[in-house]
Amino acid sequence: MSRVISYVKESIHLLKEKEYQQFGMKMKRLLIGMKFTDGLLYHILVYALLFALGYIYLYPMLYMVTGSFMTMEDIIDVAVKWIPSTLNFENYRIVIEEINYFDALLDAIYLAGVPAISATVSSALIGYGFARFDFPFKKILFVLMIMTFIVPPQITMLPMFRMYSQYDLLGSIKAFLYPAILGQGLNGAIFILIFYQFFRMIPKSLIESAELDGATPLKIFTKIIVPLAVPSIIIVFLFSFVWYYNETYLSGLYLRGSSLLTLPLRVEQYITNFTSIYPEGSRARELMQAVKLAGNVLTLLPLLVLYFFTQRYFVESIDKTGITGE
């Protein structure tokens, strides 16, 4: 009888150990998973990282939007952090009226759109030439093209300014347009590399078949290559437009004395001129903090609208070209 009881106890003990082992395996599979990437800890880590990155990017945007609706009393009141006591649209009215916002927006689109279109066309032609044709000093020219992106623009700023002054390019859109036409606009080397990499992926047999059918190089480029390069064209145009639109330093240097100014530069110019009248710490300067935030919101709004209508094409182009972003 004692043997039976001991056997039963031993069996129960073994069953409990087996259950503990199974429970431990289940918890390990739940927390770590089979390959770690399918475990709960991995998903918690990923979401925590996403929330942290989202906070870093969204915090300035939320602060800018909420601050743009604040009154002077809200700005001075330390108890008001995020939510304004009332929605104050006066800040937006001041910016719209003082800088003549809608005319300034048309000028900004003109200043960004024309060079962006020119840069897209020239980059496509240059990238196609590097990808499909052999010519003397090709490698040297390719290295020089890459060096234009490696060299900081602050180094070439003074020589460029003097050259533009000699050729009477200052004070007009020509200061941005002519370099863009020649493939040397803002970050032009990046755009050439995007097209270069894309055109290298096009099968040579496709071009050779068109040549056998009697197609000229120009016809091959316009009828075959360009339709295939739509993803790259969208990427290059959007990047170029945003960079020209947001440019302030070079715009202030090359366009000074001109009525054409980028929208961020026009808002900054108005704020600087206004605050220079009043002493440091005055109530007028406190008010201009909210007005400046409202001007920043109005400056970013066209880009947000542009991305809203082109996000599907933008994401598809990123996926097709393999560009990870800038």
What DSSP assignment string belongs to 99-141? TTHHHHHHHHHHHHHHHHHHHHHHHHHHHHHHHH---TTHHHH
Strands (E), the chain: none
The pLDDT of residue 27: 61
Residue 50 CA to residue 30 CA, distance in Å, equals 21
Structural tokens at position 196: 């270069």
Question: Given CA atoms 62, 67, 69, 73 in this order, what sign does their dihedral have?
Answer: positive
The helix (H) or strand (E) run that includes residue 162 is: helix 153-166
Mean of the per-residue pLDDT values of the chain: 79
The pLDDT of residue 113: 92
Q: How many residues does the chain have?
A: 326
What one-character DSSP code corresponds to residue 173? T
Question: Confidence band (pLDDT; 50, 70, 90) for 326?
Answer: very low
Residue 263 near residue 245, CB atoms below 8 Å: yes
pLDDT in tens, 21-43: 565 566 666 566 666 566 667 77
Identify residue 260 by its one-letter amino acid code. L
pLDDT in tens, 70-116: 877 777 776 667 777 778 888 888 888 888 888 889 988 999 999 99
Residue 109 near residue 301, CB atoms below 8 Å: no
Is the pTM for the entire model greater than 0.75? yes
Question: Confidence band (pLDDT; 50, 70, 90) for 4?
Answer: very low
Question: Confidence band (pLDDT; 50, 70, 90) for 324?
Answer: very low
Residue 288 CA to residue 271 CA, distance in Å, equals 7
CATH 3.30.565.10 assigned to 90-321:
no
